[in-house]
Amino acid sequence: MTIISNDKTVAICSDHAGYELKNAIIEHLANKGIKCKDFGTHSSDSCDYPDYAHPCARAVESGECYPGIAICGTGNGIGMTLNKHQGIRAALCWDVELAKLAREHNDANVLVLPARFITVDKALEVVDAFFATPFEGGRHARRVAKIRIEE
């Protein structure tokens, strides 16, 4: 897995809809020797995804964790919240090819998964593809540099 270094921990968060998938991913990564910092939620009780997305985003932005994974029912709400942070490039992916392109072309630093629209097995394939794919750079670096809003 190329984008994970030994000194980094993966940031992971979900809302209630993504809780079970989040736990499956944490177990999958632990079996590969990859550490996760779980920003919640910690149950399947109804909750608000921004409460977990913001701390997860801050951990990735600060460099405390890299990369991040976020999960909600559709992936849209948690992804929108994450992308409010200037240092986050969260990509909603439900397919291996999307995950690869999000890394290769967009240097995505948070993978967003739609728990209600993806199986656990497919989600694990997407996670593995995201982690195994490096940023291509080149012409894509110029485009990625233009994403951030100058304040």
The CA-atom distances, in angstroms, between 6 and each of 36, 60, 65 are: 12, 15, 11
CA distance 18 to 49: 10
Asked whether the bond before 41 is cis by omega within 30 degrees of 0, the reply is yes
- Among the listed residues 28, 85, 105, 140, the single catalytic one is 105
Tokens of 11: 């940031």
- For the record, the structure tokens of 111 come out as 């993978």
Is residue 105 part of the annotated active site? The answer reads yes
**24's tokens:** 């499956």
**In this structure, are strands 36-38 and 110-114 parallel, antiparallel, or unpaired?**
unpaired
Positions marked active-site: 105
